[in-house]
């Protein structure tokens, strides 16, 4: 198969984008009060952990970190069949909190829709803000990101791959043309 | 890893990877059961019929709760109020139920293999909640999950199964599943209750005495004496049975100090187990029940909408 791969972000690039997002989150929310991070498994949870570390470096405060698995909330069970279910781990109530939902790539918006439904089962957040590393367009639902690492116009059949090393640190973001 | 079965009738039909997938899914389902809002929308719009030709409290309630936690609509049919008492055949009952478009039928039936018969007649998924003396796959899975919780693995463990092996579908599912996962099983019971050739079912050693079976065991699974099934012909009386094959604080010491004690329920206190053991620190009987809901959620989830190659 002839695939063309383009490097979109390398490790320092990802790092800079996350640092900027961390600052933007703190600026828009005027600090860390009532702020919690929830990453979407898998990928978003690793990025959420990095954001927590960066926010701690900046403000000296460690935010609560949760992981959400959206498999049980997806709308494509009938068309794509059951997939392995990961563990959701949100050990705190979301009621009254400002939730920063973190994902790697924003595409159709259906994963985010599922994640929003999942979060509502953990309380009534004051608001939910969305942070993504890549926004590649092609939305099928009225969903937008509040914090974006990189806006990247893509064709529908292209793929975005975010790779992580064994320690779950992001290595790079690649665009794969079919 | 994709689950490729439309039906779950016996652990014998599943391979190691499929069992692992069901167990890991069950672990995730358990998290849902610990939430304030114990419900996810996964099986919204699906209809599950619980068709129980034999009485059951635990298994039927567990399947019903499992279906409801996944947002499916569950309907229970019990023998006392079904047409079976009026003489309707299983096939006719199934075709009538099918006309109401269920997605899954969970059935318990006294005849071994009746689920295979049913699976050939219907186009919905069939889950076995116990068929005669054949298998009880959800019990086998929840037993494995309970063991895995304790030891973090299933391979290399010594598991003793004591009691009426011949009539126990729980024993068969445990043997099928645990053999695939790499445990070694030691069975013991009165000679009238241990089938000849039981070794051929899996990685099984038949023991002459209970002591041999539970010596240094990691896990002891005690089976219920099914008085409704075999009448009273297989043993002189329950007191004698209890003397030779009952688990009590004294013979429990033969097993490893942290050995796990399990029982599929309902327990005949004082017959297969003394109350000291049932209520003791090594007893994981209620943990089994808790895991039962999670395991059944995993089963319902994986048979639904799947590629269904079977």
ipTM above 0.90, yes or no: no
Judge whether A174 lies within some domain: no
Q: What is the pLDDT of residues B296-306, one digit of tens each?
A: 999 999 998 65
Judge whether A54 lies within some domain: yes
Judge whether A170 lies within some domain: no
Judge whether A126 lies within some domain: yes
A37 vs B56, higher pLDDT: A37
What's the gap in Å between the CA of A68 and the closest CA on chain B? 11
What's the confidence (pLDDT) of residue B229?
64
What's the confidence (pLDDT) of residue B310?
34
Count of A-B CB contacts under 8 Å? 57
Q: What is the pLDDT of residues A4-48, one digit of tens each?
A: 899 999 999 999 999 999 999 999 999 999 999 999 998 999 999
A31: containing domain: 12-156
Judge whether A176 lies within some domain: no
Judge whether A4 lies within some domain: no
Judge whether A162 lies within some domain: no
Q: What is the pLDDT of residues A75-91, one digit of tens each?
A: 888 888 888 899 999 99
What's the confidence (pLDDT) of residue A123?
93
Tell me how many domains chain A contains. 1
B1 vs B153, higher pLDDT: B153
B84 vs A50, higher pLDDT: A50
Q: What is the pLDDT of residues B219-240, one digit of tens each?
A: 999 999 877 666 567 888 888 9
From chain B, which residues contact A within 8 Å (Cβ)? Answer: 1-3, 21, 24-25, 27-29, 31-32, 35-37, 39-43, 70, 298, 301-302, 304-307
CA B193, B177, B166 angle in degrees (round to 5)?
Answer: 10
**What domains appear along chain B, each with residue ranges and CATH number?**
11-136+291-303 (3.40.50.1370), 138-289 (3.40.50.1370)
What's the confidence (pLDDT) of residue B308?
40
We report the CATH number of the domain holding residue A132 as 3.40.50.2020
Residues of A in contact with B35 (CB under 8 A): 121-122
What's the confidence (pLDDT) of residue B88?
84
d(CA B243, CA B251): 11
Judge whether A175 lies within some domain: no
């Amino acid at each position: 198969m002839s695939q063309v791969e383009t490097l979109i972000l390398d490790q320092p690039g990802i790092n800079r984008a996350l640092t900027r997002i961390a600052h933007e989150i703190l600026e828009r929310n005027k600090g860390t009060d009532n702020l919690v991070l929830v990453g979407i498994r898998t990928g978003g949870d690793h990025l959420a952990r990095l954001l927590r570390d960066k926010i701690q470096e900046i403000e000296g405060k460690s935010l609560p970190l949760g992981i959400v698995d959206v498999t049980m909330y997806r709308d494509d069970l009938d068309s794509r069949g059951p997939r392995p279910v990961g563990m959701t781990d949100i050990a705190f109530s979301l009621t009254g909190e400002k939730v920063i939902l973190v994902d790697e790539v924003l595409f159709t918006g259906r994963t985010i829709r599922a994640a929003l439904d999942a979060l509502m089962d953990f309380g009534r957040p004051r608001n939910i803000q969305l942070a993504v590393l890549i926004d590649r367009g092609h939305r099928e639902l009225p969903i937008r990101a509040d914090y974006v690492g990189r806006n990247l116009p893509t064709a529908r059949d292209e793929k975005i791959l975010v790779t992580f090393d064994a320690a779950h640190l992001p290595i790079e973001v690649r665009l794969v043309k079919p | 890893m994709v689950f490729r079965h439309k039906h779950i009738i016996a652990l014998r039909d599943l391979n190691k990877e499929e069992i692992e997938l069901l167990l890991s899914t069950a672990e995730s389902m358990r998290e849902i059961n610990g939430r304030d809002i114990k419900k996810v929308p996964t099986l919204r719009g699906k209809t599950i019929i619980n068709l129980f030709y034999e009485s059951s409290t635990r298994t039927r309630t567990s399947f019903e709760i499992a279906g409801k936690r996944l947002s499916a609509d569950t309907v229970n049919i019990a023998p006392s109020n079904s047409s079976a008492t009026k003489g309707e055949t299983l096939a006719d009952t199934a075709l009538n139920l099918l006309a109401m478009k269920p997605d899954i039928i969970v059935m318990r039936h006294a005849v071994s293999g009746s689920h295979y018969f049913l699976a050939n007649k219907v186009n919905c998924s069939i889950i076995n909640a116990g068929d005669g003396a054949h298998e009880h796959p959800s019990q086998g899975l929840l037993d494995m999950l309970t063991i895995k919780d304790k030891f973090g693995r299933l391979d290399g463990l010594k598991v003793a199964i004591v009691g009426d092996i011949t009539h126990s579908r729980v024993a068969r599912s445990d043997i099928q599943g645990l053999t695939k996962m790499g445990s070694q099983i030691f069975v013991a019971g009165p000679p009238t209750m241990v089938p000849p050739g039981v070794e051929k079912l899996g990685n099984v050693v038949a023991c002459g005495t209970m002591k041999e079976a539970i010596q240094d065991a990691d896990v002891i699974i005690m089976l219920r004496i099914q008085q409704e099934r075999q009448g009273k012909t297989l043993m002189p009386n329950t007191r004698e049975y209890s003397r030779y094959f009952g688990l009590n604080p004294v013979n429990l010491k033969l097993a490893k100090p942290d050995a796990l004690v399990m029982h599929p329920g309902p327990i005949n206190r004082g017959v297969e187990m003394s109350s000291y053991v049932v209520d003791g620190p090594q007893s994981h009987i209620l943990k089994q029940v808790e895991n039962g809901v999670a395991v059944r959620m995993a089963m319902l989830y994986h048979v639904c909408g799947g590629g269904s190659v079977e």
